[in-house]
Amino acid sequence: MRTSPILLTILMTASVQAATPTDLMKGYAAEASRQQAGFTPAAKRGADLYQRNFGISAKMPSCTSCHGDDPTQGGRHSVTTKAIKPLAPAANPERFTDRAKADKWFGRNCKEVLGRDCTAAEKADFIAFLTGGR
């Protein structure tokens, strides 16, 4: 039986796009270590980022404003009141499995909460926190 070149391309593309939260964390950590030699993701820094009140937006001063204190539980958007699935990959296996989606949501949420883009180090720390890493 011959496998179609188109089918092979589709299968290879799907496997390239699939990722794990650890894969994404390692990618962000590699990017961060180019800017800060010896960088290692730290869950403690990620937890601090998650809970910190940045005060940029009155309705979204911190990640917990929408995602709640426990990232393994669902949340609710503080402006639209739309339900949000759990942020932690242990409770929502779809989280942090696609780099493009992760970049999209980091981009949007960091600007709304922090008032700026998150650094690669912050992204790596954040995922370390959510996955129960160091």
- Helices (H), strands (E): how many in the chain? 6, 2
pLDDT in tens, 64-74: 999 999 999 99
pLDDT in tens, 3-38: 555 544 444 444 445 699 999 999 999 999 999 999
* Average pLDDT, integer, range 73-79: 94
What single letter denotes the amino acid at residue 13? T
pLDDT in tens, 86-129: 999 999 999 999 999 999 999 999 999 999 999 999 999 999 99
CATH assignment of the domain containing 78: 1.10.760.10
Specify whether the CB–CB gap between 31 and 82 falls below 8 A: no
- The pair of structure tokens assigned to 35 is 């800017």
- Structural domain that includes position 115: 19-130
CA distance 17 to 64: 29
- Position 5 in a domain: no
Q: 102: how many CB neighbours lie within 10 A of its CB?
A: 21
- Position 71 in a domain: yes
Q: What is the pTM of this model?
A: 0.84
Instruction: Determine the pLDDT at residue 4.
Output: 54
19 SS3 class: coil
Counting the structural domains of the chain, the total is 1
CA 91: distance to chain centroid?
Answer: 14
Phi/psi at 126 (5° precision): -60, -45
- Position 118 in a domain: yes
